[in-house]
Structure 1
Amino acid sequence: MNAIMADDGSFYYQIQGSAEGTNYNIIYQDDEDRDFQPEIEKLLSGFEKSLSVYDPDSVISRINRNEDIAIDNFFEAVFNKAKAISILTEGAFDISAEPLFRAWGFSAQEKSIPDNGQIEILKKQIGLDKIEIKDRKIIKSMPEAVLNVNAIAKGYSADVTASFLDEKGCKNYLVEIGGEIYLKGVNTQGEPWRIGIDRPSENNLIPGQDLQVILQLTDRGIATSGNYRQFYVDNGQKVTHTIDPRTGYPVKHNLLSTTVIAPDTMTADAFATAFMVGGMDKVTEWIDSYPDLEALFICDEEGEYKVYYTEGVEEYIINVN
């Protein structure tokens, strides 16, 4: 735990570590000078035991193997939110699309391009209309259906950690887990927190190294999704990890990066992914259906980066490169 003196003479504390296959960074102010890292790591460990597909004994892994297991509160919250956003985005966001990611080589060791027949078979296994919760159990109409909540779980874990800090009486903090962030109160300068959005260049490999936009905001969740770092090239064809569950194919449009601001990070996380799938044509329609959202988009227009954003984002922007 590192101590940071704020401009008003109080102390903020920074803790860092690993969770959910990624890293976390948390800065918080606490008048009692408490080290919350052991409790937060225990909380995140329990979270992984529910929702990590990398843990063979987690709740979600056992559900994917069709074992008879009761769900917990973490799983239920994520599943219900995912289903609601899937309906609103016409299936563009779908946590049951894992078979497609495996087929395209994004959840497997070997990269490959599936043929049309394979995609049509896999699409029949996908869709949250085939999965429901009943009596604290997951019921599948198609046993082959599997779930992966990576596109929403990191955001929810940030919210869970923020709730923990709220319970401890912390009024100023930043919680960042795998790039998904929840902010409350003010930073060490007594101002709203500043968040940088990376320039969506394939050469920009280190987060925070080259920023396109800087925002200043607080009391919100914020998440960014992009397709400029996770891709591979097969026989000269670029294959991005943003796959449309409805078509079974990677998307092809000029939207490179989407940042969503919402009342909670779980919502921001899921919509950032959905917007990357839907592209600019669908974004306006979906945002109008969910008025608590604000979003910023970076597009490739003839080799130049163009920044677009909803009206409410303007008050947060302090720099655009």
Structure 2
Amino acid sequence: MKIYKALLNITPLILISAFICTSCSSRQDYKTIDGFTQGTTYHIVYQQPGADSLNAMIDSILMAVDNSLSVYNDSSLISRINRNEEVLADTLFVNVFNRSREIWELSKGSFDISAAPYFEVWGFGAGEKRDVTQPMIDSIRQFVGMDKVSLDSGRVVKSDPRVSLNVNAIAQGYTADVIAYAFDRLGIKNYLVEVGGEIFCRGVNARGNEWTVGLDKPVEGNMIQGEELQEIITLSGRGLATSGNYRKFIEENGQKYSHTIDPGTGYPVKQSLLSATVIAPDAMTADAYATWFMVVGLEKAKEVLAASPGIDAYLVYDKDGKFEVFYTDGIKIK
């Protein structure tokens, strides 16, 4: 069995969903911070005249999010919740949980942070892929669904102790939003925050132009960020996230299994949609919608977009073996 996953914890600023074109190093008042968090990388550029650094503030935010939401951290709040320990949810968890539940309802279950057990058996969690059978999927289905978990006075209440949560499909976007909010409160006008490929930016880059984001072409083997671009778009004052299946899949006995799992069936999706880039008022929403679109496919994604003011998308799909593109009017091609 071959497992292909983006090695985000090994190569910084290379294997991300969107390539960031900033050219900021030539301006002394634009500062850049790179690092690792939540099993992935982050890249932050911001304008701040003077010598003061915001590294300590950013580190504290990243640590707080990791301690709350990261399933890669055994002592995090979400890991303890998954072990059914008696804990009180913090503000970070509450915000992500509530927004996840809202989008679960909007998507009729296509976006579901309680679908973590499916990812485990298919080999996209901490363990190896198992020999998946329909009875196994049917058994897991009994404890998957946001209707089986709720918050009551800060405590997570499960109808079944086997309920397990994984917020990776929304947490990185939320992290970008939290850092962006901190920048806004400090009066920082120009910045770009990217966490695991999910972005929120405001203002302009060091050249005085809107930030530009390169979207990788969703071809198998395109594992290096920026090596082969599909499109370059401009972005400011909104969040962006990309989801795709071309970098994360498992191959077993000649069969490829996508890392996008349909919570309704428990099986990897088989869609013509190759990648979904979503732009929304915040990166958390963009992150969740990108996953939602990859689950439901091209036509349903178009329907959702038509009914969702403020949400834009750039969708790449396969049609008779060729790349085709659909994008909404709010996408600004450079």
Residues 268-287 of structure 1: CA deviation (Å, up to 9, x unaligned)? 00000000001012112322
Residues 244-295 of structure 1: CA deviation (Å, up to 9, x unaligned)? 0001111111101000000100000000000000101211232234311000
Task: Confirm or deny that 1:280 pairs with 2:298.
Answer: yes
Task: Confirm or deny that 1:249 pairs with 2:259.
Answer: no
Q: Which moved more, 1:213-222 or 1:32-41?
A: 32-41
Report the equivalent of 1:143: 161
Instruction: Give the 3 Å change call, closer, same or farther, for CA 63–165 of structure 1 in structure 2.
Output: same
Alignment of 1:202-213 (within 5 A): 202-213=220-231
Deviation, 1:110, is: 1.6
Alignment of 1:6-85 (within 5 A): 6=27, 11-85=29-103
Task: Confirm or deny that 1:124 pairs with 2:142.
Answer: yes
Tell me the distance in 1 between the aligned counterparts of 2:154 and 2:235: 38
Tell me the distance in 2 between the aligned counterparts of 1:66 and 1:236: 38
Higher relative contact order (CA 8 A, sep 6+): 2
Alignment of 1:1-321 (within 5 A): 4-6=25-27, 11-313=29-331, 316-318=332-334
Letter in 2 for 1:187: N
Letter in 2 for 1:56: D
Instruction: Give the 3 Å change call, closer, same or farther, for CA 12–271 of structure 1 in structure 2.
Output: same
Tell me the distance in 2 between the aligned counterparts of 1:300 and 1:180: 24
Residues 33-64 of structure 1: CA deviation (Å, up to 9, x unaligned)? 32111220121011111001111111111111
Residues 166-223 of structure 1: CA deviation (Å, up to 9, x unaligned)? 1222100000111000010001111110000000011110111110010012001000
Tell me the distance in 1 between the aligned counterparts of 2:52 and 2:184: 14
Instruction: Give the 3 Å change call, closer, same or farther, for CA 113–289 of structure 1 in structure 2.
Output: farther
Q: Which moved more, 1:25-34 or 1:224-233?
A: 25-34
3-state DSSP of counterpart to 2:170: helix
RMSD: 1.4
Tell me the distance in 2 between the aligned counterparts of 1:108 and 1:224: 23
Letter in 2 for 1:238: K
3-state DSSP of counterpart to 1:299: strand
Tell me the distance in 2 between the aligned counterparts of 1:37 and 1:303: 46
Matched-pair contact (CA < 8 Å) for 1:196–1:208: yes
Tell me the distance in 2 between the aligned counterparts of 1:133 and 1:175: 30
3-state DSSP of counterpart to 1:56: coil
Tell me the distance in 2 between the aligned counterparts of 1:3 and 1:256: 31
Q: Which moved more, 1:26-35 or 1:130-139?
A: 26-35
Q: How many residue pairs end up in the alignment?
A: 312
Report the equivalent of 2:11: none
Deviation, 1:3, is: 7.4
3-state DSSP of counterpart to 1:4: coil
Matched-pair contact (CA < 8 Å) for 2:33–2:55: yes
Deviation, 1:88, is: 0.5
Deviation, 1:234, is: 1.2
Tell me the distance in 2 between the aligned counterparts of 1:288 and 1:299: 18
Tell me the distance in 1 between the aligned counterparts of 2:25 and 2:224: 24
Letter in 2 for 1:232: I
Matched-pair contact (CA < 8 Å) for 1:300–1:306: yes
3-state DSSP of counterpart to 1:82: helix
Residues 67-95 of structure 1: CA deviation (Å, up to 9, x unaligned)? 11100000000000000001101100000
Matched-pair contact (CA < 8 Å) for 1:4–1:11: no
Residues 97-131 of structure 1: CA deviation (Å, up to 9, x unaligned)? 00000011110332234100000110111000111
Instruction: Structure 1: give runs of 5+ residues left out of the alignment.
Output: none
3-state DSSP of counterpart to 1:60: helix
Tell me the distance in 1 between the aligned counterparts of 2:58 and 2:89: 22
Matched-pair contact (CA < 8 Å) for 2:120–2:127: no
